[in-house]
């Protein structure tokens, strides 16, 4: 799609941009889902959660929910599934008896490390095959800026 931006920023341009952004995200997510399921027996959302737990040891369910802009209930159920597989564990929170601290198990740490290679390789193939380095850099910078603004302003944050 060819975008034309003017001083009034026509609604059609935003609508097309939104459609492209959402469809690209969906296709990339689904492609990674297929690869992760085939090679590691997990899906993209599980990989993302495991990766977050690895990078944020001792986080809480509420922290995970905030990172992914999903509800606490859905996040807790997702953590339950990771626990059932033996990939994550809840530990008592010494500062707050009402919450738990989350940690990867050794099996979870191995799984996320193995899966990361699949994700990195898949993204390099999918994105690098479609965009040159300057375009990738521009897209990454633009999306990072947009994400920062949306998160700062708490746009799209679930209420429950």
Digits of tens for pLDDT over the chain (160 positions)?
A: 566 666 666 556 888 889 999 999 999 999 999 999 999 999 999 999 999 999 999 999 999 999 999 999 999 999 999 999 999 999 999 988 888 999 999 999 999 999 999 999 999 999 999 999 999 999 999 999 999 999 999 899 887 5
Contact 102, 58 (CB under 8 A): yes
Which stretches of the chain are DSSP H helices?
Answer: 11-40, 44-55, 61-68, 72-84, 106-128, 133-152
Q: What pLDDT does 39 receive?
A: 97
Give me 154's structure tokens: 């708490």
Domain limits, the chain: 25-152
Give CA–CA dist 37/76, Å, rounded.
22
User: Is the domain covering 25-152 a CATH 1.10.10.10 domain?
Assistant: yes
Give CA–CA dist 27/129, Å, rounded.
14
* CA torsion through residues 54, 60, 66, 70, sign: positive
Count of all residues that appear for the chain in the document: 160
Q: What pLDDT does 4 receive?
A: 62
What predicted TM-score, i.e. pTM, was given to this entire model? Answer: 0.87
């Amino acid at each position: 799609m060819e975008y034309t931006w003017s001083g009034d920023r026509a609604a059609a341009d935003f609508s097309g941009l939104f459609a492209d952004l959402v469809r690209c995200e969906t296709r990339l997510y689904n492609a990674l889902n297929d690869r992760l399921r085939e090679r590691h027996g997990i899906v993209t959302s599980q990989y993302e959660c495991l990766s977050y737990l690895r990078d944020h040891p001792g986080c809480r369910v509420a922290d995970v929910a905030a990172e992914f802009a999903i509800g606490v209930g859905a996040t807790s159920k997702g953590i339950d599934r990771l626990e059932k597989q033996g990939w994550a564990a809840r530990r008592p929170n010494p500062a707050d008896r009402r919450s738990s601290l989350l940690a990867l198990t050794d099996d979870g740490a191995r799984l996320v490390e193995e899966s990361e290679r699949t994700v990195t390789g898949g993204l390099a193939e999918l994105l690098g095959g479609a965009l040159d380095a300057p375009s990738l850099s521009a897209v990454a910078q633009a999306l990072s800026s947009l994400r920062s603004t949306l998160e700062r302003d708490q746009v799209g944050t679930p209420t429950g």
